[in-house]
Amino acid sequence: MEGTRDPAIVLEGLHKSFDGEAVLNGIDLKIDAGETVAVLGRSGTGKSVLLKLIIGLQKPDSGSIKIQGRDITSLPLKDLNAVRAKVGFLFQEAALYDSLTVEENVAFPLRRHRNGQTRERKDRVRELLALVGMEADSGKLPGQISGGMKKRVGLARALALDPDILLFDEPTAGLDPITAAEIEELILKLRKDHAITSVIVTHDLHGAAVLSDRLALMHEGNILIEGSLQELKHSTHPFVSQFFREGA
């Protein structure tokens, strides 16, 4: 992966509204290369919107988003796509294409962004499916596999282009405890083996503590507090105390 002296992600003064209602109200957040940050918050606080802004699926009303030192907020589509190729995204519901097999879903970004030979592409897909334990199900359609298996396939697809940055939107939501633990183990393995920069949006305090170097708690469209789990737990701010008391 490409080294850089710039932080992996820098968000400054991010504002985003929908139908006149502010969702993000001046977000500032810096994430260093190789760091994993978990973004916590109540439902509807804009956590998923934040991820979509980072990858350029939505544009902020104001503020800047720098990915490896490059501001993406006003990039033309061709240049934005080049930046996006360095960022993998695991959507909350995996967002697989229903009409494509598991193998074809993982191959999709390779077909779109790489001009390699068919044999090279097939080898890469097999490697990725083996990594997430899904090689035996490569010919199945998404409707034929469980929610946890879909998350595994979605993770394989997010890794297809060997990204520098991974974005996770509620990676363990809706999964039973055993499957959630398996997904967490996969994410931890990626951290250990590849030192990928990660942003994990979650409401799962246990998962956030296990997976991240730092927590950032969102409230009323802003980052209210950042730090380790212990630092946040010992905060005297009323909302922080309530969040950890009720979420524990």
Question: What is the rounded distance in angstroms from the CA atom of residue 109 to the CA atom of residue 2?
Answer: 20
Which CATH superfamily includes the segment(s) 9-247?
Answer: P-loop containing nucleotide triphosphate hydrolases (3.40.50.300)
Edge-to-edge strand order for the sheet containing 21-31? 21-31, 9-18, 62-67, 70-71
In the chain, what are the domain boundaries? 9-247
* 130 vs 43, more confident: 130
Residue by residue, DSSP assigns 134-184 as -GGGTT--GGGS-HHHHHHHHHHHHTTT--SEEEEESTTTT--HHHHHHHH
Query: Residue 14 — φ and ψ, nearest 5°?
Result: -75, 125
Give 40's contacts (C-beta < 8 A, 6+ positions apart). Answer: 47, 202, 203, 205, 208, 215, 216, 217, 218, 243
pLDDT at position 174 is: 83
Question: What is the rounded distance in angstroms from the CA atom of residue 88 to the CA atom of residue 23?
Answer: 24
Helix, coil or strand: residue 67: strand
pLDDT per residue as tens digits for the range 212-242: 999 999 999 999 999 988 899 889 999 998 8
pLDDT per residue as tens digits for the range 163-216: 999 999 999 888 888 888 888 988 888 888 888 999 999 888 888 988 999 999
Question: What is the rounded distance in angstroms from the CA atom of residue 201 to the CA atom of residue 168?
Answer: 6
CB 199 within 8 A of CB 51: yes
Percentage of the chain exceeding pLDDT 70: 96
- Reported pTM: 0.89
Strands 197-201 and 165-169, sheet pairing: parallel
